[in-house]
Structure 1
Amino acid sequence: MSQNFDIDSVLESVYNGIIAINRAGEIMLFNRSASELLNISKEKAIGKDIRDVIPKTELFKVMETEKTYSSEKGQFNNKTMLTNRSPIIKDGQVIGALGVFQDISELEHISQELAKTKAINDELRAIIESSYDGFWITDGEGYTIMINSSYERISGARAEEVVGRHMKKLEEEGFCSESVTLKVLEQKERVTLMHELFSGKKVMVTGNPVFDSDGNITKVVTNVRDISELLSLKQELERTQVLTQHYKEKLTEMEIKLGEGEVIAKSKVMKNILDQSARVALFDSTVLITGETGVGKEVIAKYIHQQSNRKEDPFVKINCGAIPENLLESELFGYAPGSFTGASQKGKPGKFEMADGGTLLLDEIGELSKNLQVKLLRALQDQEIYRVGGVKPKKMDVRILACTNQNLNKLVSEDKFREDLYYRISVVPIYIPPLRERSEDIPFLIRHFTRKYNNKYNINKGFSTEALNQLIKYNWLGNVRELNNMIERLIIMVSKNLIEETDLPGLAHHTSDTSINMSLSEALNEVEKNMLKRALGDSQTTRETAEKLGVSQPTVVRKIKKHNLNKDLIS
């Protein structure tokens, strides 16, 4: 059975609003949906100029351009409309225009809400991704939604291997030894477990359920923290604390045991010597310490002993140049009972035996005769000695240190010192430069000796700036020993508490810089320049120089410019 439809009924039934105008702009068609959407009755619209009904109409533009405009958004009565506009053409002529529109306000609101939700989701994903802890997120059924890169780093798993898969299956395949997610879904509460991964890492895993308004679990968020890193940091901190305490104890012990032989090292070269000495102290290799008389060879020898594992055992010194040759052998090796006229009937141990288990310092070893050099070499090689007049060897456990102010290489070439003995005692050579080559140590040595003798004699004396500068400029051919003696003499002999330049016994005639024809300010300027040059030479940066001189870095830079020194040193 056929049924006739009239076009007006169809247009009236369409959900979209439809408006048609003729060439003059009169409204010829205005369906029910248009009336409802625009809140204008059909009677008030039909036959009216569209500009009176919809002042901002675009239908005239459609007729003028003869173009179709589709999916354009517009606002009318606080509603968002989506409009399609087309020209009405008959016999090739534009006779009007048609507008079809619908209210998309609700859709627009939903779209905006979706955009906001997406932005929030993106932000949450970025937050999760940036976390140092690992995250594993599943839905309420236990299917994996995402893991972050930190979880990949910690576990070695990859997102493409687990996303979309159920935790039960992943547990069976060994991705985790025990699924926290499944326990959370079962117990409906937070669950924390400790896991050890295949990589050996220990992790703490905490699963948290996310509930909807009906109390159903919609997500399970699992946090994974690498405890092995925390444990490693904790252990490292504990080791550092133990080492710090150890070093504190060692420093205290050194200060107590070194006593008057305290090492003063401000210059770079002396710090390097102390560092080298501390390293060699850990081994029983023989050490040859060379340098001019009075530079502190014995002090370094004591320092090596105190840093070694023999520090609780004897430190014995013998000056090979201060004992007559006919007595030196018995002093070194001891003698058997009745071995010579006047000898003790009980015999006597020598320095080797006295130092057994500890350290023996052979001072001025270059003074040994060739005969004694042979016997010393044998003792070093065999680790045993024969007392003078004795027939039985004695095993010795002695660490040997040797000192000399002579050039042993030259003595070897002159056949005055055995080459084999030289190589035996100089396994580790340490050269201590003279004081004049490390003048930045002088102010600190002066301060040390001043305190030492003030405490010893229960007085309180000091030096004026001018006196200090004069002491710093002095050549000190006798090195630290001469400086020590000079400070003690001045402390004792000068009656005033402030020792001035005029109290110094003729040092101005023996300084490293001739400044007799200078004014006091010029001389001080010269001292400042020389100290700055020396400190710069021993430093990599002006900050290091400032630390050596006890001033600020800007002061050093200013002084460099003042004395017109190398600008390349400013850094």
Structure 2
Amino acid sequence: MKVRDIMQTPVKILREDTSLREAAGFFRREMVRGAQVVSEHGFSAGVFSYEELLKALAAGAELSDPISLHVRPMMCSVHPETAVEELKRYGSSFLTVVDGAQILGGIDMMAVDDIIRGGRISSKIPAHAALQDLPEAAFLVDEYWTVRWFNATAAVSCTAEEADVLGKPLSQVLTEAGFGIETDPLDSQSIIIAWRDETRFLPITWSASFPDGSSDRMVLLRNVQEEMLRARELTKLRSLSKELDAIIDSSFDGIFITDGKGRALRINRAYERITGIRAREVLGKTMSELVHEGFYDESVTMKVLQSRRIETIIQKVRDSKTIVVTGNPIFDDDGEIWRVVTNVRDVTELRRLQLELERLAELQNHYRRELDSLRRNINTSPEIIIRSKKMQEVHDQAMRLAQVDSSVLITGESGVGKEVVAGLIHTNSHRHTGPFVKISCAAIPEQLLESELFGYKAGAFTGALRTGKQGVFETANGGTLFLDEIGEMPLALQAKLLRVLQERTIVQVGGVSETPIDVRIIAATNRDLEEMVQTRQFRSDLFYRLNVVPLFIPPLRERQDAVIDFIYHFLGRYNQKYGLNKQIEPEAMDLLITAQWPGNVRQLGNSMERLVVMTKGDVITRADVHKTMHTSDAAQTTCPEPSPGTLREAVERAEKQALALALRNNPGSRAAARTLGVNQSTVVRKARRYGLHMQEYFDASTHR
């Protein structure tokens, strides 16, 4: 039977400004469970069905609400030639029948359920006695809505005798039983909705003919909340079924499922791919039959049924392919085997993958050795790479400092990792459970720095919060405060900081009372504080107070052997961050290792992030490295070329490099010429000679 044989025609239509009350009456009069919805201009707006009506009422919608608030887009549609049996896979109570762009009719899924069982529920109703056990109140009414019969559930709901019900209008029966009702404006006896207490009931009506030739209307009072609960449970079951189907079919391993008797129920696509056996060949057959027919030399399922435990065997299929199969028994509540799920792997495929992995391992042997070396030197902070003796000394000293509570002054060039070392000291100290608060003295205006450090009272200055504000010293109480760029702190604040270090108390801006604090101070700078002390730019007493234990971090150029480890570290980090799997070819690695990094680890990290994000392929090439270093902040990086054959070549290369750097750091050719101490025409001529596109450098300088 096809859809065209059972679809409702002509197409029932509702306007989108129709109210829920009018829609319910329309469904009742037309004996349908859904309709096409059109806008005021005649365009299709979707579908409104009995299911949407139930959802709206269950959600507390008013009967006066327009159906436009609850219209479903016309996603569930079928072709008129679709078999009726296939309609069960659609998760909707009403389907639209379409052929191309033309809407032909609709399908009531309740009617479909009955058709599949053997007949239309709207055309044949069994004898009245068969309706007695329905869980819903059922009434037979004539064309005037007079009750001719009702079932036992209706009798309980109405708490009335037969004589008090038969012959009365249904609306009167329900009203006398304590129901509130809403009737159809076009038919005062036609009930749209009924309710009692907090429960809503939606009458479902259809024509019913009986063997004696009589023809009445059957009315069921359906509990809206219970109906929606059943619908949600059915939707959930369908969703779980689809999810399970997707999981089984997406598995790379083959899956073979049998029942407790060894009869094949299902195989996934991977099983067909691995074995070459199609589902139609085995489904419905027992494993003993399949072994007898030569599909397999033996069955792991039969072993599982005998031993009642997990079994694994090497199995040969009919084309002599060898596979590894593992059978897993699934038991029901009575302890009987309900299903046997078998996982299948192709040994041939596994062997091929093994050889491929061995080949890749051989190609990457050098990098594996480097990674092993890195793992041997790994420490509590993944940000610290220890390869050189100098960094080993820094690490050891930091770990020793973590065990004491003295102030620490960390010095070193910008980007060497001063903040990382400070974090290492905090993490390994007894204060590790307390806060680690960081503040840059150079990033905050002088006027605001004091209030950021010490906090302020309400009304301390114009714009201050009414509640006041806590400073970073109080925030870091019980932990560690990292003062970065300490050399940029104004002299006036240096005196207050010295007092805090000596007294271990602070006074908020605008306050008078002292607040005790328990904070460890770690300061850092890339400036020469001793020279600043000599030039009176930094207080000597504060310097000596901070410089109890100095810790110097060498620049990256002095620990060149650590560059490769940083490269792999940043490569792994940004691969994980962006969901990529980039690799680096040896020539590109050599170029990165031999480059000079004036910005130290920070510059190297930024360059690696740019390479991971910007390279098109899965492998970072030497060309990618060259391009990145000459079109980004990495233009400051010096990338040595192979040794020149002549002095002239070396001079030309140095000249080109100096010219590129001047172009990068200046907004125009005249400024670059002043930096280099030559005429502007010389800059233009040599840039053309060396193939340097000046505008690209100037654009990069502008957006830097």
Check whether TM > 0.5. no
Tell me which structure has the larger Cα radius of gyration.
1
The TM-score by the shorter chain falls in which range?
0.3 to 0.5
TM-score normalized by the length of structure 2:
0.36
Q: Which has the higher contact order (CA 8 A, sep 6+)?
A: 1
